[in-house]
Amino acid sequence: MITLALSKGRIFEETLPLLAAAGIEVTEDPEKSRKLILPTSRPDVRVVLVRASDVPTYVQYGGADLGVTGLDVLLEHGSEGLYQPLDLRIAQCRLSVAVRADYDYAHAVRQGARLAVATKYLGLAREFFARKGVHVDLIKLYGSMELAPLTGLADAIVDLVSTGNTLRANHLVEVERIMDISARLVVNQAALKLKREPIRRIVDAFASALPQN
Ligand code: ATP
Ligand code: PRP
Ligand code: MG
């Protein structure tokens, strides 16, 4: 049995075509079912639904043989015990710093001000500002980061940006692009040894289904 960890929403939706290319069809809709283990058209393959931030944990400890996770989540979690054979080029976005449109970020940085930064990416934010030599007080949030500068909770946020619609809707502006993000296939290293052939076939099918460029 091969177990693939996915999170509901965009990762699940955008992985479906890749699974189809590997001849795997998920036979139940996660938005309609309360089931957390979904069967597929292949009796030897199942999908487990986990929180996006739990995918690396499941794969690392062997709760799943492979999984699809954002690079943001993977870097924040750490990649110990995880083989990363493919950039799937789905769920593309970027990790950025944003502030209120009326906040002079460049000035604050030049002045050596201490910035209050709200984010769910404490590790990535700490590393980014340390490299820049900017002192920060990090505030851990689990969502709705865009609200933090609007309510006075923080001067800046570190969050994902794709179309920029969420920033615009909340009168925030992007002031730094930290890194480009896309979803990665991650594989448990022990599973790769024990189930090499079936895993290799899935990885190869995913690879050939990726848009060329
Ligand atoms: P949860 O809902 O459990 O808090 P989440 O918000 O991290 O989790 P998703 O929004 O499905 O879950 O994000 C999963 C991954 O998709 C992220 O880790 C990131 O790599 C990518 N992603 C997030 N937001 C966007 C976006 N707006 N556009 C493209 N990709 C995105
Ligand atoms: C993500 C991210 C941003 C938004 C950016 O939220 O946390 O808020 O997308 O995308 P945009 O630039 O295209 O507006 P998501 O849609 O995943 O909502 P949630 O995680 O808060 O449920
Ligand atoms: Mg999200």
Q: Are 183 and 90 in contact (CB under 8 A)?
A: yes
* Cα–Cα distances in angstroms (integers) from residue 202 to residues 21, 32, 138, 195, in the given order: 9, 26, 40, 11
| Ligand 2, atom 22: closest residue by C-alpha | 143
Tokens at 84, concatenated: 């990363």
Closest ligand 1 atom number to CA of residue 10: 11
ipTM reported for the complex, 2 dp = 0.97
Ligand 3 centroid–CA 45 distance in Å is: 27
pTM of the model: 0.97
pLDDT of residue 120: 98
**Total domain count, the chain:** 2
Which of 166, 168, 181, when mutated, tests ligand 2's pocket best, judged by the most ligand atoms within 8 Å of its CB? 166
Q: Which domain holds residue 8?
A: 2-91+182-209
Same domain flag for 98 and 86: no
Question: Mean per-residue pLDDT for 185-197?
Answer: 97
* Dist. CA 150 → ligand 1 center (Å): 22
Which two tokens mark 48? 């487990």
Tens of pLDDT, residue by residue over 68-117, are 999 999 999 999 999 999 999 999 999 999 999 999 999 999 999 999 99
pLDDT at 160 over 90: yes
> 59 and 11 in one domain?
yes
How far apart (Å, rounded) are the C-alpha atoms in residues 41 and 166?
37
Q: Which long-range contacts (CB under 8 A, 24 or more apart) does 100-107 make?
A: 100/149, 100/150, 100/171, 100/172, 100/173, 101/171, 101/172, 101/173, 103/149, 103/155, 103/156, 105/156, 105/175, 106/175
Residue 212 pLDDT exceeds 80: no
CA of 112 to the centre of ligand 3 (A): 32
Percent of the chain with pLDDT over 90: 99
| 173 shares a domain with 119 | yes
Same domain, 54 and 102: no
**pLDDT given at position 200:** 97
Both 114 and 87 in a single domain?
no
User: What separation in Å is there between the alpha carbon of 74 and the centre of ligand 3?
Assistant: 15
**Is the shortest distance between the CB of 210 and ligand 2 below 6 Å?**
no
d(CA 27, CA 120): 33
Q: What confidence tens digit (pLDDT) does each residue in 34-64 have?
A: 999 999 999 999 999 999 999 999 999 999 9
Give the ligand at the shortest distance from the Cα of 147.
2
Of the pLDDT bands very low, low, confident and very high (cuts 50, 70, 90), residue 213 is low
Residues 47 and 120 in one domain: no
Whether pLDDT at 132 is above 90: yes
Residues 165 and 198 in one domain: no
What's the 195 CA to ligand 3 centre distance in angstroms? 32
Query: Do 186 and 87 reside in the same domain of the chain?
Result: yes
pLDDT value, residue 175: 98
- Asked if 168 and 204 sit in the same domain, the reply is no
Q: What is the pLDDT of residue 199?
A: 97
107 burial level (CB within 10 Å; 0-12, 13-18, 19+): exposed
CATH code for the domain of 111: 3.40.190.10
Nearest of 93, 70, 97 to residue 178 by alpha carbon: 97
> Is there a single domain that holds both residue 7 and residue 87?
yes
Q: What is the mean pLDDT of residues 154-182?
A: 98
Name residue, tokens 């693939």: 4
Ligand nearest to the CA of 163: 2
Q: Same domain, yes or no, for 110 and 189?
A: no
Q: Are residues 109 and 85 in the same domain?
A: no
> Ligand 1: which residue has its CA nearest to atom 12?
52
Which run of H or E residues covers position 64?
A: none
Rounded to the nearest integer, the mean pLDDT of the chain is 97
The answer on pLDDT for 211 being more than 90 is: no
